[in-house]
Amino acid sequence: MLQLKPLDENVPIFQQISTDISPVVLVNIFQVAEEDIPALLAAWEADANWMKTQPGYISTQLHQGIAGSTVFMNYALWESVAHFRAAFSHPDFKQALSHYPSSAVASPHLFTRLNVPNLCVGP
């Protein structure tokens, strides 16, 4: 079963999903034992394929730390927090968390883009 650990203890994901921001970026950091990497990847792939079918989903990309790291980062774009909340709270998604290896810890967090002149384009 996947363990959830807040990336920000002051504003955990369950607090974030009560807001209404559009668009939104999900960053989810996974840590897993080396021997459980194949199981993590299989569970993540199944989840990502399910999320792809949900309203408001835009895209996702999974990254792995280099040099033998067992840390992974998922970056996903959603049309809105409301769309993400519906998918994240869906019973099928909640049940799928049991497919992750017991060593897996996830730290999901939602972000919005910022506008920084001459550097970043915000919402």
Percent of the chain with pLDDT over 90: 97
User: What is the reported pLDDT for 122?
Assistant: 76
Q: How many CB atoms lie within 10 A of CB 79?
A: 14
The answer to the question of residue 120 being in a domain is no
**Residue 91 lies inside a defined structural domain of this protein:** yes
Supply the CATH number for residue 24's domain. 3.30.70.100
**pLDDT of the residue at 1:** 84
Domain count, the chain: 1
Residue 121 lies in a domain: no
- State yes or no: pLDDT of 123 exceeds 80: no
pLDDT digits (tens, 9 = 90+) for 20-79: 999 999 999 999 999 999 999 999 999 999 999 999 999 999 999 999 999 999 999 999
Is 122 part of a structural domain of the chain? no
Residue 116 forms part of a structural domain: no
Tokens 């992750």 label which residue? Answer: 100
Residue 118 covered by a domain: no
Domain range for residue 62? 3-111
Residue in the block written with tokens 């049940």:
95
**Is there a domain that residue 86 lies in?**
yes
